[in-house]
Structure 1
Amino acid sequence: MTVTNEDELAGLREIGRIVAEVLQAMRRALEPGITTRELDAIGRAFLEREGAVSAPEASYGFPGATCISVNEEVAHGVPGPRRIAAGDLVNIDVSASKAGYFADTGASFVVPPGRALLERLCRDGQRACAIGIGQVRAERQLAGIGSAVGAFARANGYTLVQNLASHGIGRALHEAPEEIATWPTRGDRRRIRAGQVLTVEPFLSLGAEMAETGEDGWTLYGLPSAPVVQYEHTVVATARGPVILTRAA
């Protein structure tokens, strides 16, 4: 989607606020003993109160309102009976729509007490996302996002999952521009347009380079198996830089 007027921007800001606040509500509830199904129910109830609809559920028939991935699970984890334990690495991904506008956000958390290695990975995952967002500006190349994130990962001894890409968003959960790499690529000469809406969501890892689908047909696992974090925001490109839509009020 390309934003053309203030009404569209207001609609995107509203759903961006909602998914950001759902993510924070779920983070606050994250503690040892809670199941991923119970955590998902908190997210669903918040969305319903705000008049929003789960995007993965409505768009793809995903069996949950949100995606909750634990430890070996990289993304698209299905909510269920799994109980969260101290030290777990948990990713929560929230995407939803309201009044025809979509937004997508996500973050990874270590349930205390956590290993220092995982805490550092989370901090650097946030830095990687911020670096990628910093490349979003009208008329710049889309590939600049992956180049900047890749330089950070390489300098700090990390790998990037290279088959989970960022994407356009706005009037649908996934739309053009599709497959925006958050790792270094060659040959992508697409440029960012003013008003373009997209996600930035690098998957930073201690060794994984790809993701594969598990037996349930949804959950993704790293190859090779290694801790992975993901941080994601929905942003609008302007001539002055990115406008982040998915920040809690």
Structure 2
Amino acid sequence: MIIIKTDMEIEYMRRAGKLVGETLARLEEVVKPGITTAEIDRIAEEFILKNNAKPSFKGYQGFPASICASVNEEVVHGFPSNRVLQEGDIISVDCGAILNGYQGDAARTIAVGKVSDDAQKLIDVTKGSFFKGVEHAKVGNRLTDISSAVQVYVESFGYSVVRDFVGHGIGRDMHEDPEVPNFGRPGRGPKLSHGMVLAIEPMVNIGKYYVRVKPNGWTVVTEDGSLSAHYENTVAILNNGPEILTLV
């Protein structure tokens, strides 16, 4: 069941989303060669707690950390650890916060120092595909109008969209209906209406779209070992157009 939010609920989600966006902006400043992914996680958790909110991910179905830190071929759900980031790595940081009972959720892929042209292009195309999708996040459109726009944009660069993991509705719970694929034919799925709130999150691979889950039961990697990038925001569908709640 898709839960339609009231204007007051969307205001609460704006506040949660703003905090998530500010947290990610802070992390973009600290990511550099030599930092560990555990240190990035600590900085995120402290920032969220300092702002009277709670990290969404910590303890969620047993997840051990406040952010997902996915490096290079890791697509999503990477565990923060003592891994030291190296010049040329890329890291996808997924972050969520609960404030006043409502969720914000967003992700960014960040270059570690100077990266290859291929890696930077992947980051840019993944971000661009999100904004192509959001152009279609309008009242009266169908859900897969977003999905199709993401896929067409990504594949025009020769990249692939991950099929096994998708975006989702969001509100009091981190994962609500509907699922939001990043692929598919337009004109399908539920009609978008005022008060829907979606986490739209393209996951894009340089290689094939096939992925597998590592033995820890969480971390998703590309089957062919190719680089992957992730870009996500929480988006409210409003009568006057989509509002991205997690952009600072």
Please tell me the TM-score bracket, short chain as reference.
Answer: over 0.9
1: CA distance, partners of 2:223 / 2:165: 12
TM-score by length of 2: 0.95
Matched position secondary structure for 2:148 = helix
Q: Map of 1:30-179 to 2, 5 A cutoff?
A: 30-177=31-178, 179=179
Runs of 4+ in 1 over 6 A off after TM superposition: none
The residue identity in structure 1 corresponding to 2:160 is T
Matched position secondary structure for 2:237 = strand
Which residue does the alignment assign to 1:4? 6
Matched position secondary structure for 1:176 = strand
The residue identity in structure 1 corresponding to 2:181 is A
The structural deviation recorded for 1:208 is 3.1
Query: Identity percentage over the alignment?
Result: 31
| Contact 1:166/1:181 (8 A) holds in 2 | yes
| Contact 1:70/1:89 (8 A) holds in 2 | yes
Matched position secondary structure for 2:204 = strand
Which residue does the alignment assign to 1:230? 230
| Contact 2:142/2:186 (8 A) holds in 1 | no
| Contact 2:235/2:245 (8 A) holds in 1 | yes
1: CA distance, partners of 2:121 / 2:163: 21
The structural deviation recorded for 1:32 is 0.9
The structural deviation recorded for 1:210 is 2.9
| Contact 2:143/2:187 (8 A) holds in 1 | no
Pairing 1:24–2:25 present: yes
Deviations 1:172-226 (A, max 9, x none): 000011x211112489432112110001111122113133210111111112321
2: CA distance, partners of 1:52 / 1:60: 19
2: CA distance, partners of 1:3 / 1:164: 24
Which residue does the alignment assign to 2:199? 199
Q: 1:187 to 1:246 in 2, by over 3 A?
A: closer
The residue identity in structure 2 corresponding to 1:2 is I
Matched position secondary structure for 2:133 = helix
2: CA distance, partners of 1:160 / 1:151: 10
The structural deviation recorded for 1:60 is 2.1
The structural deviation recorded for 1:29 is 0.7
The residue identity in structure 1 corresponding to 2:189 is R
1: CA distance, partners of 2:159 / 2:221: 17
The structural deviation recorded for 1:86 is 0.4
Matched pairs, number: 246
Which has the higher mean CA deviation after the structures are superposed, 222-231 or 31-40? 222-231
| Contact 1:207/1:226 (8 A) holds in 2 | yes
2: CA distance, partners of 1:36 / 1:150: 30
Matched position secondary structure for 2:103 = strand
| Contact 1:143/1:189 (8 A) holds in 2 | yes
5+ residue gaps in structure 2? none
